[in-house]
A and B are shown apart, each in its own frame.
Chain A
Amino acid sequence: MNGATAIRHWRAQRVSAVALILLALWLVESLLAHLGADRAQIQTWLGQPVPAALAAALVAVAFFHLALGVRVVLEDYVHTPARLAAALAANRVACWALALIALAAVATLAFGL
């Protein structure tokens, strides 16, 4: 990482962390409220606009924050340059893929597709 990238990483990690404080607490509260719910109840819940928007924001910000965090761990513990490059690429691909699958699932539930 060069200096400018490092500063962007540092700031992005913290901005996403602040957003996740509220989104994570909302998730805990929501999951507790839906313990043992069947699929239809989850569809009804995430079929409403506000929960769907919060769920979309949560998965987008959470996987962004996760990708940044895992990147730092890989940079600390993978010492072979070629392996590090492969691990960093795998991290990006995995976090993007999981975020897109989660967003598609939320969209399906939100619009009742």
Chain B
Amino acid sequence: MTPAERPLSPHLQIYKPQLTSVLSIAHRGTGLALGVGAIFFVWWLSGAAWSDACFRAAQAFWGSWLGKLFLLGWTFSLFYHLLNGVRHLLWDIGFGFDLPTTYRTGWTVVAVSVLLTLFAFGGGLYAWGSP
């Protein structure tokens, strides 16, 4: 079955990027990234439950530079998706939907996500390096 030829709303690449649209698509992107992270988490958890080899493989992956890069991405994704999710929940109850507040809360979410990521990831690296 071929899809009907209906008018489409403008695609992302037609819009000039703005904070509002970039943060909106980032909410999706970080949500999907966390979904991939959840699969890795199940891998690690299954290893802890059932298999030494599987657990060691997962631990070795977190220890590798690629694993640490993924962890950095997931740490940021978690804080960003959480904070921006709270922003969405506030909109849902009618707070902060005017443009100046939307921009202010948007930049706040970005700044606090970066700070929490540096704090958690940096602290984690430090603690890992000196047990």
Interface residues in chain A, defined as those with a beta carbon under 8 Å from any beta carbon in chain B: 14, 17-18, 20-21, 24-25, 28, 32, 35-36, 39, 42-43, 46, 55, 59, 62-63, 66, 69-70, 73, 79-82, 98, 101-102, 104-106, 108-109
On whether A14 and B89 interact (CB within 8 A), knowing A66-B38, A70-B35, the answer reads yes
Q: Does B127 contact A (CB under 8 A)?
A: yes
Interface residues in chain B, defined as those with a beta carbon under 8 Å from any beta carbon in chain A: 1, 3, 28, 31-32, 34-35, 38-39, 41-42, 45-50, 52, 55-56, 59, 75, 78, 82, 85-86, 88-89, 92, 120, 123-124, 127-128, 131
Query: Which 6 residue pairs of A and B lie closest in terms of their CB atoms, listed nearest first?
Result: A105-B49, A108-B49, A42-B48, A105-B45, A35-B128, A39-B55
On whether A66 and B127 interact (CB within 8 A), knowing A18-B89, A39-B52, the answer reads no
A-B pairs with beta carbons under 8 A, tally: 85
Taking a contact as CB atoms under 8 Å apart, the answer to whether B131 and A36 are in contact is: yes
Inside 8 A of B124's CB, which chain A residues have their CB?
Answer: 32, 35
Inside 8 A of B127's CB, which chain A residues have their CB?
Answer: 32, 35
Q: How far is the CA of A101 from the CA of B22 in the complex (A)?
A: 35
Minimum C-beta distance from B68 to chain A (A): 11
Inside 8 A of A55's CB, which chain B residues have their CB?
Answer: 45
On whether A24 and B50 interact (CB within 8 A), knowing A32-B120, A32-B127, A102-B42, the answer reads no
Inside 8 A of B75's CB, which chain A residues have their CB?
Answer: 28
A-B contact pairs, 11 of them (CB 8 A): A14-B92, A25-B82, A32-B120, A35-B127, A39-B47, A63-B38, A69-B31, A73-B32, A79-B3, A102-B46, A105-B42
Taking a contact as CB atoms under 8 Å apart, the answer to whether A32 and B123 are in contact is: yes
Inside 8 A of B86's CB, which chain A residues have their CB?
Answer: 21
**Which residue from B28, B50, B92 sits with its C-beta under 8 Å from A108?**
B50
Q: How far is the CA of A20 from the CA of B82 in the complex (A)?
A: 8
Q: How far is the CA of A106 from the CA of B46 in the complex (A)?
A: 8
Inside 8 A of A108's CB, which chain B residues have their CB?
Answer: 49-50
Q: How far is the CA of A55 from the CA of B46 in the complex (A)?
A: 13
Q: How far is the CA of A57 from the CA of B9 in the complex (A)?
A: 39
On whether A73 and B28 interact (CB within 8 A), knowing A28-B78, A46-B48, the answer reads yes
Minimum C-beta distance from A24 to chain B (A): 6
